Structure formats: C-alpha cells, structure tokens
Amino acid sequence: MADHPHALLVRKGYDAFVHGDMDTLRSLMSSDATHHVPGSHPLSGDFKGQDAIIDMYGRLFTQTNGTLRVELRTILVDGRGHAVTLHHVTAERDGKSIDEPGGIVFRILGDKITDLDECVEDIDRANEFWS
C-alpha cells in the first residue's frame, strides 16, 4: 500500500533534517509554522516562523558538535491533517550523552507542516542534557 501524502511529507522532512538540508525543510513548512519543544532548557519553548525553527535546528547541530542523530521509526496518520512520529535520538554534548525515543505530533494544512509538537521520553533528562 502506498504511503499517505502526509506520511510522505513528514518522511521527506526527517530525511532533510538528518542531512542538514534546511532549504528543503523550509519548503515543507508554512511561513508561520511553530515548533514546540518541551522542557525548561535553553532550546525549549515555542519557535514560531521558518527562520526561528531553522535557527533552532542549527543550534541543535552546533551544540552537539554534529553528533545529533535522529532515526525515524514510524509514522502514523489520520488523513485529516495530523501525523505522529516515533523516532530515536542520540547525541553528545559537553561530556553528556542522550540516547532515547521521542516523537513529534505534526499538523498539516494542504501540503505544508503548520505545527510540530515535540515529545520526549524524559523531560528531566532532556533538560539536563540541553542545559
């Protein structure tokens, strides 16, 4: 069975992210998209607009000296503008490491991602790693 268009869109976004292709990522998001990152660390919060989101992604790679790896595990869609992913994240930063599952709830309007709600397995661990 063929992938749903929303699954294809999200898969293309993950592929662009892991390859550092920020131009493609930008093309997949609405201009006013928002990425919500849980926690209370310097990279948590609401990043509104393509520029803010792309800047935050760049900071993820910079602060981990390029060690950040995200492996997409599954995509679930509802056919009504929502997609949910499960992925696995590994990274090293300032002598610390992280190795855990996570996910994102995507909202899609037409052929653009409008909202990304990130979820982590352990908010305290994420706060400690990114602080």
Q: How far apart are CA 97 and CA 36, in angstroms?
A: 22
The string of pLDDT tens digits covering residues 37-91 is 999 999 999 999 999 999 999 999 999 999 999 999 999 999 999 999 999 999 9
Q: Is the pLDDT of residue 1 over 80?
A: no
**Cα within 13 Å of Cα(71), Cβ side:** 9
| pTM for this model (two decimals) | 0.95
For the chain, the helix, strand and coil percentages under 3-state DSSP, each to the nearest 5: 35, 45, 25
Compute the average pLDDT of residues 18-42: 97
Q: Is the pLDDT of residue 2 over 70?
A: no
- What is the rounded average pLDDT for all residues in the chain? 96
Q: How far apart are CA 39 and CA 79, in angstroms?
A: 30
DSSP 1: -
Q: How far apart are CA 7 and CA 88, in angstroms?
A: 17
Compute the average pLDDT of residues 21-49: 97
Which residues in 15-93 belong to E strands, given as ranges?
Answer: 29-37, 45-48, 69-77, 82-93
